[in-house]
């Protein structure tokens, strides 16, 4: 017992000693004093700062001046501290203005590039990708990480003019994108410009509390203008599927001229565990889909399909589909609002291809409405992936009986009423009627997108917002 106490006591002591020796660095557009970067008096010019010197617990403060300061692109490679390094703006008076890091002149360069690093946190920065040309299929980004682990982008304002994605994670694992405002400005460029793009068989990421805005107008035969794109993504650690959590995000594509956009788009992913809840996805664009989780790799080749928990989301689409879902071995879909305002397509396109029978299927308490037909429309694919006749909600209930339970026996097919449909604020998507028809899902989460605690003993509201 005494050996155990000594062991854990030593670990705690080492942890605090590590923090005691953490270093703060102060960098700016020019040097002053000794230029060693150990204080604002001795601040170091950022172009001469050696990122490789950083150790676990260190912090780097960019000088924001009294109002704002602008910096050119930065990059770091092979930085692997033992614990998180924080890169942020100055906190002291005279240095706590806005820090803007931007690329306006160099093609093919990421504004912040991170390669083969771990334990890095970017926070309270404004990061802009504003190269004026048109890069076509060249994939750049305001923030791009390659082959990295535990990268956090938090509370930043990230802007792309359409020459690249806002955030691009490639072959990374266990990253967090949280509480950011990420926008692709209105543009007619043909470049790849998803608001967030994740690819390359990494995974285990958390995307939460962000506002994502897509303004790219032109679709392309080879790529879309998605809000959140997953391509060739995911996999397993041993026998365990990586979990990707997408929660409490507000995603918008409100320009009616935008084409080929998806809210959450999974393209050729390996087996994953998706946890998707409390998101508001609003697309007034053309040829769009709220969520597409249907193009997973063959389970025989990649040892299993994906599981998906889609809970308390609000999907509003002008046309296209609210959701395209297939190739899952587990699908739990509850308390969602699927609202198609005007479309000849279906609310839900649903298929289990390759004859793969889901182990768990729990679909209930959802609300569907199609403004073109006046009722829910659900299209089911057969085992070959071909489309069958459209089903109304009542037909969906009768024909789809999984493990003795009918789909959406407690669901509804009535038109939802919001404070301000097509609005640009989260609160515009609060229900003005028809509340209290969901089920308690507190074993997964307990709050709504605004942080309001959902009730313990009464029915939950459907959708991402709980009425108080």
Q: What is the C-alpha separation between 15 and 255, in angstroms, rounded?
A: 51
Range of the domain at 246: 194-468
Which residues are CB-neighbours of 17 under 8 A, at least 6 positions away? none
Region of 395 on the Ramachandran plot (φ > 0 left; ψ -120 to 50 alpha; else beta): alpha
Nearest of 218, 282, 224 to residue 254 by alpha carbon: 282
Place of tokens 């692109």: 73
Q: What is the C-alpha separation between 77 and 56, in angstroms, rounded?
A: 16
Within a domain: residue 427?
yes
Within a domain: residue 141?
no
State the total domains in the chain. 1
- The series of mean pLDDT values per 10 residues for the chain, 468 residues long, is 51 50 95 97 97 97 98 96 98 98 86 97 97 68 95 98 90 95 88 87 90 80 77 71 93 84 82 92 86 64 73 93 83 94 78 58 90 73 50 73 74 92 96 93 97 92 93
Within a domain: residue 143?
no
Within a domain: residue 414?
yes
Within a domain: residue 121?
no
Within a domain: residue 436?
yes
Within a domain: residue 307?
yes
Within a domain: residue 243?
yes
Q: What is the C-alpha separation between 146 and 166, in angstroms, rounded?
A: 15
């Amino acid at each position: 017992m005494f050996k155990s106490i000594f062991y854990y006591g030593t670990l705690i002591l080492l942890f605090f000693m590590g923090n005691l020796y953490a270093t703060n660095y102060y960098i700016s557009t020019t040097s002053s004093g000794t230029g060693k970067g150990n204080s604002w008096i001795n601040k170091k010019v950022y172009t001469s700062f050696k990122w490789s010197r950083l150790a676990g617990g260190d912090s780097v403060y960019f000088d924001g001046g009294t109002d704002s300061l602008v910096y050119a692109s930065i990059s770091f490679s092979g930085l692997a501290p033992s614990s998180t390094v924080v890169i942020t703006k100055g906190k002291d008076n005279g240095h706590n203005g806005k820090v803007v890091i931007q690329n306006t002149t160099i093609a093919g360069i990421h504004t912040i590039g991170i390669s083969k690093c771990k334990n890095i946190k970017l926070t309270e920065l404004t990061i802009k990708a504003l190269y004026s040309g048109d890069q076509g299929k060249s994939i750049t980004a305001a923030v791009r990480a390659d082959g990295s682990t535990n990268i956090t982008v938090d509370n930043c304002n990230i802007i792309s003019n359409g020459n690249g994605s806002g955030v691009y994670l490639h072959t990374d694992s266990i990253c967090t994108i949280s509480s950011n405002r990420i926008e692709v400005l209105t543009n007619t460029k043909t470049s790849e410009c998803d608001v967030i793009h994740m690819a390359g068989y990494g995974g285990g990421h958390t995307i939460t509390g962000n506002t994502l805005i897509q303004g790219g107008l032109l679709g392309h035969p080879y790529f879309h203008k998605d809000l959140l794109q997953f391509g060739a993504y995911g996999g397993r650690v041993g026998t365990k599927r990586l979990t990707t959590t997408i929660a409490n995000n507000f995603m918008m594509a409100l320009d009616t001229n935008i084409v080929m956009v998806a809210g959450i788009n999974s393209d050729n992913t390996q087996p994953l565990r998706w946890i998707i809840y409390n998101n508001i996805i609003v697309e007034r664009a053309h040829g769009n889909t709220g969520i597409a989780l249907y193009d997973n790799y063959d389970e025989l080749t990649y040892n299993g399909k994906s599981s998906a928990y889609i809970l308390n989301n609000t999907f509003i689409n002008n046309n296209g589909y609210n959701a395209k879902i297939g190739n899952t071995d587990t699908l739990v879909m509850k308390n969602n609002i699927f609202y198609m305002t005007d479309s000849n397509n279906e609310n839900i396109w649903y298929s289990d291809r390759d004859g793969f029978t889901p182990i768990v299927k729990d679909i209930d308490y959802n609300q569907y409405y199609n403004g073109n037909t006046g009722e829910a429309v659900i299209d089911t694919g057969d085992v070959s992936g071909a489309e069958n006749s459209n089903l109304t909600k009542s037909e969906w209930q009768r024909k789809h009986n999984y493990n003795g339970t009918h789909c959406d026996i407690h669901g509804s097919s009535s038109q939802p009423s919001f404070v301000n449909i097509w609005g640009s604020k989260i609160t515009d998507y609060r229900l003005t009627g028809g509340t209290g028809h969901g089920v308690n899902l507190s074993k997964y989460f307990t709050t709504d997108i605004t942080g309001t605690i959902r009730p313990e003993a009464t029915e939950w509201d459907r959708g991402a917002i709980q009425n108080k």
